[in-house]
Amino acid sequence: MIGYVTLGTNDLAKAVTFYDQLFGSIGAKRFLESDSFVAWSKSPEQPGISITKPFNGQTATPGNGTMVAIEFSSPEEVDAFYQKAMELGATDEGKPGFRDEVAGFYAGYFRDLDGNKLNGFYLDMSAMT
């Protein structure tokens, strides 16, 4: 259903460097780009995440309550993704761990260099029964 999600940036070069390294750590590569927009995905047939300078020329600001969640196959993959984000200068919004709200839900939350909120998560479907 989702084709891609776009996050705003005020420093495209800095954001692209961050996401090239972060998404490269999970096998995602650039699949679309222009002078003001870059998108990454594991394949063009899968959803992607893009960074852009706002089209209207105004300052990019993170949305309150907006978050991009990236699914992984294990808690260890979530840990590695979260740790990579921290190494690249992201800020912690909730260290990786199981969350009490949903049985089997493991997630780590962070904000990118522009303050956009992301998380890596794993959902153990067997815990949902």
pLDDT digits (tens, 9 = 90+) for 90-103: 999 999 999 988 88
Predicted local distance difference test score (pLDDT) of residue 1: 76
CATH number of the CATH domain containing 94: 3.10.180.10
Predicted local distance difference test score (pLDDT) of residue 117: 98
Predicted local distance difference test score (pLDDT) of residue 2: 87
Q: Look up residue 28 and give its two tokens.
A: 């995602």
Residue 40 has pLDDT above 90, yes or no: yes
Q: What separation, in Å, do the N-terminal and C-terminal C-alpha atoms of the chain show? A: 26
| Within a domain: 61 | no
| Within a domain: 85 | yes
Residue 119 has pLDDT above 90, yes or no: yes
Contact predicate 106/113, CB 8 Å:
no
| Within a domain: 109 | yes
Structural domains counted in the chain: 1
Reported as a pLDDT band with limits 50, 70 and 90, residue 77 is very high
